[in-house]
Amino acid sequence: MDPIELEYDGPIAIVSNNRPEKHNAANDAMDARLWEILEELHHRKGLRAVVWRGNGKSFSSGRDTTELGVRTEDISDLEFIERGHRGAQLFFSMPAPIVVALKGWVIGGSFERALLCDLRIAGESAKMMLPEVRHGVVPDSGGTARLFQMAGHGLVADLALTGRTLDAEEALRHGIVSRVVPDEALDETAVEIARAIAASSAFTVKMFRQTLGRLANPAVAGTLAEEALAQSMVFASEDYAELKAARAEKREPRFRGR
């Protein structure tokens, strides 16, 4: 089974996260397929818009925690993170706008990647979180920089440091999503938005996105290098090792701040 499905509706690509039994939790195979699809879309002639959605109840519950910090190949933590960042750069260079349809759980790196896209709409069930700090790591997919641009320092600090849940209506108030619709209308609304974009002049859409991208993308792209270094240091820290040991032994961690 493909962890992410790709189909075309005329000039519109529909990308569907496809691990519904896991609430579309991302693993290495899912990441690899996402980068493969984004590369294909870069070379798709006549592409005018992309809809990114999730099969099942959730868009994505974030990184599969059973694989958090686990390497399936012989590469360093920094190399692993930087490879993901090379994939994330594909969002900035996409030739057509991406409309993301959020529902259910929208967590961690998957939330951050959705923030790198052009438009986000939410079903009423959407629940967004940045729980990385509670798992002993830091957000590292560029999304906190984008969230900072949208909603400011205070909300980013609140979400990342507490790991609390942001519901669809609060996300709308902060401008993180542009619309909230009933879950049963979410996919149809996303496709309608994509069709409206596809009906406009492709050249005009391209020029607008370039202008907006020049305002927004440099700061986000620049943050990726800092996040890669920070995450690598966290993975190598005594505190991270202690957190993993404490959870395995079902006890409270004894952090030493290093």
Average pLDDT over residues 246-255: 94
Q: CA-CA distance, 46 to 28, in Å (whole number)?
A: 30
Q: Which pLDDT belongs to residue 68?
A: 59
pLDDT band of residue 78 (cuts 50, 70, 90) is: confident
Encode pLDDT of 186-230 as tens digits: 999 999 999 999 999 999 999 999 999 999 999 999 999 899 999
Please state the domain count of the chain: 1
How far CA 68 is from CA of 27, 76, 114, 124, in Å, comes to 9, 14, 20, 29
Encode pLDDT of 17-51 as tens digits: 999 999 999 998 999 999 999 999 999 999 999 99
Selected residue with higher pLDDT from 128 and 80: 128
How many other CB atoms are found less than 10 A from the CB of residue 182? 10
Q: Which pLDDT belongs to residue 210?
A: 96
Tell me the pLDDT of the chain averaged across its residues: 94
Q: CA-CA distance, 19 to 96, in Å (whole number)?
A: 25
3-state secondary structure of 24: coil
Domain that holds residue 138: 4-184
pLDDT band of residue 70 (cuts 50, 70, 90) is: low
CATH number for the domain spanning 46: value is: 3.90.226.10
DSSP letters, 121-171, are EEETT-EEE--GGGGT----SSHHHHHHHHH-HHHHHHHHHH---EEHHHH
Does 123 fall in a domain? yes
User: What is the pTM for the complete model shown?
Assistant: 0.93
How many other CB atoms are found less than 10 A from the CB of residue 248? 8
Residue 62 DSSP label:
-
Contacts of 220 (CB under 8 A, 6+ apart): 92, 116, 142, 145, 146, 149
Does 60 fall in a domain? yes
Does 245 fall in a domain? no
Does 53 fall in a domain? yes
Q: Which pLDDT belongs to residue 1?
A: 86
Q: Which pLDDT belongs to residue 99?
A: 98
- Asked whether 139 and 85 are in contact (CB, 8 A), the reply is no
pLDDT band of residue 95 (cuts 50, 70, 90) is: very high
Does 246 fall in a domain? no
pLDDT band of residue 77 (cuts 50, 70, 90) is: confident
Is the per-residue pLDDT at 13 higher than 90? yes
- Asked whether 33 and 15 are in contact (CB, 8 A), the reply is no
Q: CA-CA distance, 68 to 169, in Å (whole number)?
A: 30
